Structure 1
Amino acid sequence: MSLSVLAALREYDCGHDLICLSSILGVLNSAAIFSLIPPNLKSSDGDFMTLLNIMNKILSVKESISASQFDMNRICEVANLTQIRHIIGPALRRYINLEKSFNVSDYRVQAHKKSGQWESIAKALLAGYSDNVFISMRELQEKNLLYARYNDKEDLAVLDIKSTLTRPIKQEPVPLVVARDVFYSTAVRSRAIISFVGEIEFDWMNHSTKRDLSLTAEEETYLNSNNRYDNVRKLYPNNIQMLLSNKSLKLTGRSDVVLNAELKLRKEMITELTFKLENRYSPNTTQYKNLADNLEKVSKMPNIFHPMIWRWEADKKVKITVDNNTSAKTCDIKVVGRPSEIAKVKQEFDSFLSWLSDCIVLRDPDAGKKIGI
């Protein structure tokens, strides 16, 4: 946090804001506080600005009255912050001590500068927490609810459930966040929990980073065809080093440029495959007859593929469309995604066909329906 405060004093003219944040964050070790804060103090920018709103609220009252009139219990009651009175007291004492220290330092003028703008505050925080930048896996065509540390794609995390940036499962998650705390529970060691987070924009990051993406041979060929890779390189001629070879894509440079280039290249890899569920067994065989009969039934109930469609959309951002083709007594399939994921989807359909050819009895879509008298 000290690096963030220093950056706020020297570069971003928001020294007072970071001193306030440092004061309250210094007495917090759990995000449970956010469930006790009234909605009017919560910020859409995330946890940091919410905490700053609390400090500003208390300090505005403190500075408007004399010291003899200041009553913490009364102030918290008026501000509807009684439930976090035990947090505000220590935070205010820390702030007073820090204020005294800065008033006799070389930064006494900068320490009183207020920005109130999340962008400036976020950039100051990034100076101290650049390693704690997490990107939603949805942006990387992966699982919706997971985040990945941007400088270590193997380090996965979820948002603390108490965070103000937590979204309902049907809403898109916040794309990019900076976090103060990253910790692992004893129950689940495979992914971390990120706490005290704020939403940031791509172009606010200016630290260097390196990304190494694994590709399939087909994906490498696809990027090289039709100048897809070269066209993206032309967008960033001087700000990034890009290398595509040996089924690997390496990007090195400033984080905001690297991230934009990576997302652009990921979009360029999206392609489409259409096919039918076909019976490729030799005629006059048991498997051919079973599959022919079962495909006709399946063509009348494409809704049986909905769980598969939802799973691939949620896990890998692969879009699958299944349409019944009653004239051909089969289903038409369209898959949109990265070639590597499309190949896995095709393999899953092939596995389904193999199972279907061995299936003796398949419930008719009209089975169990009552016929009107």
Structure 2
Amino acid sequence: MARCLLAALRQYNCGRDLICLASILSVSNTTTLLTKLPQRFKNSDGDFMTLLSIMNEILLIKQSVAARSFNLKRVCEAKSLTHIRHIIGQALRRYTSLEKSFDISNEYRQQAQIKSDKWELIAKALLIGYSNNVFVSKKDLQDRTHHFARYSDINDTAVLHLKSTLTRPISQAPVSLVVARDILYLSSIRLTAIISFLGVVKPDGINHNIERQIKLNEAEENCLKTNNGYSTAKSMFSNIIHMEFNNGLIHLNGLAGVVLTTELYLLQQSIIEYTFCLENNNPSNSTKYKNLQQNLDSVMKMPQIFNPMIWRWEAEKQVKMSINSNTATKTCEITIKGRDSQIQKVKEEFDSFLNWLQDCAVFRHPNSGENKELLF
């Protein structure tokens, strides 16, 4: 936080904002204080601006009355902040201490009084100290929804703290890019971290250098070449970052914000649509042909059995599927939209389903009232 505060004073003209944030963050260990906050304090830019709005409101009252007249208990009761009164009290004492320190500094006295209330400037100052704590939504990287990856180490996976103001319902898309103050691992095995004290950031605000690789299979490589996806990206970004396409790997090196924008663009350009039908390819006089045809006829009448698979692939790999079942023509058409590497895995899953289905003697309807199992 010291580096963030120094950047705010020297570069971004938001010294007072960072002093307020440093004061309350220094006495806050968890985001539990964000629970039960009145909605007017919550900010769409995240936890940092939410905390700043609390500090600004309390300080405005404190500085508008005589010192002896200020009663924190009554103020917190009036503002519905009683549950965090002890934290606010500690933060105010910390703020007073910092204010006195900067007041006797000839170099920073004036800068320490500059208030911007602009998240864009505050975020840039925070990124000076927390550049390694930038997390990108895995949904944007064609991966699992509501999981985040540390952009400097994509294998470092995290989820947002449930008490954060940036947490979204499962049915809603997550925020795309955040900076975090705290990263908590619940065990010595670093699987999934919990990140807290968060703020939404934009790619153009991330100015440190980074190197990334995008792995492609042959079909994805050809796709980016034939649809001019790579050449377009190169014309847009190669004057800012280094780009190299070789042996199924795209190497990106340069400013993290531009690298991220380039990567997201290339991933989007590699998405294709693939359609196929569930077909019975067994010899027409075989038992497997008879079983599979009979069971396929049943499947066509209840395409909803594929819903869990559809939801799973969209939630975990952003692959979209649609099932078009036509009992009149006895066809079941599957349309998949995603990267070819994922489409092939979905196709393998359907092929496995067909192999399994051809060995079924009886396929019961899920709502038949009978034991909901496949009998062999």
How far apart in 1 are the matches of 2:202 and 2:118? Answer: 13
Give the match's secondary structure for 2:242.
strand
Q: Could you report, residue by residue, the CA deviation over 1:2-51 in whole angstroms, capped at 9, with x for unpaired residues? A: 11101100111000000000000000111100003222111111100010
TM-score by length of 1: 0.96
Question: 2:374 — aligned with what?
Answer: none
Question: 1:134 — aligned with what?
Answer: 135
Indicate whether 1:281 and 2:264 are aligned: no
CA drift of 1:243 comes to 1.3
CA drift of 1:148 comes to 0.6
Is contact 1:163–1:197 with CA below 8 Å preserved after alignment?
A: yes
Is contact 1:36–1:84 with CA below 8 Å preserved after alignment?
A: no
Indicate whether 1:329 and 2:330 are aligned: yes
* Structure 2 letter corresponding to 1:362: F
CA drift of 1:364 comes to 4.7
Give the match's secondary structure for 2:358.
helix
Question: 1:358 — aligned with what?
Answer: 359
How far apart in 2 are the matches of 1:257 and 1:242? Answer: 11
Q: Could you report, residue by residue, the CA deviation over 1:294-333 in whole angstroms, capped at 9, with x for unpaired residues? A: 1111111111111111111111111111111224423111
Is contact 1:297–1:365 with CA below 8 Å preserved after alignment?
A: no
How far apart in 2 are the matches of 1:275 and 1:335? Answer: 9
Unaligned runs of 5+ in 1: none
Q: Could you report, residue by residue, the CA deviation over 1:83-105 in whole angstroms, capped at 9, with x for unpaired residues? A: 11110111111111111111111
Question: 1:92 — aligned with what?
Answer: 92
* Structure 1 letter corresponding to 2:287: T
Is contact 1:138–1:144 with CA below 8 Å preserved after alignment?
A: yes
Q: Could you report, residue by residue, the CA deviation over 1:167-197 in whole angstroms, capped at 9, with x for unpaired residues? A: 1111111111110001111397410000000
* Structure 2 letter corresponding to 1:157: A
Matches within 5 A, 1:21-36: 21-36=21-36
Percent identity between the two aligned chains: 54
* Residue range with higher mean Cα deviation, 140-149 or 36-45: 36-45
Question: 1:3 — aligned with what?
Answer: 3
Indicate whether 1:248 and 2:215 are aligned: no
How far apart in 1 are the matches of 2:124 and 2:365? Answer: 61
TM-score by length of 2: 0.95
Q: Could you report, residue by residue, the CA deviation over 1:44-74 in whole angstroms, capped at 9, with x for unpaired residues? A: 1110001001111111111111112122222
How far apart in 2 are the matches of 1:339 and 1:34? Answer: 42
Question: 2:373 — aligned with what?
Answer: none
Q: Could you report, residue by residue, the CA deviation over 1:247-281 in whole angstroms, capped at 9, with x for unpaired residues? A: 21211111121111111100110001111111111
Is contact 1:298–1:330 with CA below 8 Å preserved after alignment?
A: no
Q: Could you report, residue by residue, the CA deviation over 1:101-154 in whole angstroms, capped at 9, with x for unpaired residues? A: 111111000000000011111111111111111111111111111011111110
How far apart in 2 are the matches of 1:196 and 1:120? Answer: 17
Matches within 5 A, 1:197-276: 197-276=198-277
Question: 1:78 — aligned with what?
Answer: 78
* Residue range with higher mean Cα deviation, 237-246 or 145-154: 237-246
* Structure 2 letter corresponding to 1:39: Q
How far apart in 1 are the matches of 2:54 and 2:13? Answer: 20
- The alignment yields a C-alpha RMSD, in angstroms, of 1.5
* Structure 2 letter corresponding to 1:180: R
Question: 1:17 — aligned with what?
Answer: 17
How far apart in 2 are the matches of 1:364 and 1:29? Answer: 53
* Structure 2 letter corresponding to 1:205: I
* Residue range with higher mean Cα deviation, 12-21 or 321-330: 321-330
How far apart in 1 are the matches of 2:303 and 2:6? Answer: 60
How far apart in 1 are the matches of 2:45 and 2:315? Answer: 25
How far apart in 1 are the matches of 2:77 and 2:367? Answer: 64
How far apart in 1 are the matches of 2:359 and 2:188? Answer: 41
How far apart in 2 are the matches of 1:252 and 1:10? Answer: 28
Matches within 5 A, 1:272-351: 272-351=273-352
* Structure 2 letter corresponding to 1:76: C
How far apart in 2 are the matches of 1:51 and 1:210? Answer: 33
How far apart in 2 are the matches of 1:224 and 1:364? Answer: 46
Give the match's secondary structure for 2:167.
coil
Give the match's secondary structure for 1:179.
strand
CA drift of 1:292 comes to 1.2
How far apart in 2 are the matches of 1:181 and 1:8? Answer: 20
Give the match's secondary structure for 1:157.
strand
Question: 1:173 — aligned with what?
Answer: 174
Indicate whether 1:101 and 2:101 are aligned: yes
How far apart in 1 are the matches of 2:155 and 2:190? Answer: 13
* Structure 1 letter corresponding to 2:5: V
Unaligned runs of 5+ in 2: 371-376
* Structure 2 letter corresponding to 1:12: Y
Question: 1:118 — aligned with what?
Answer: 119
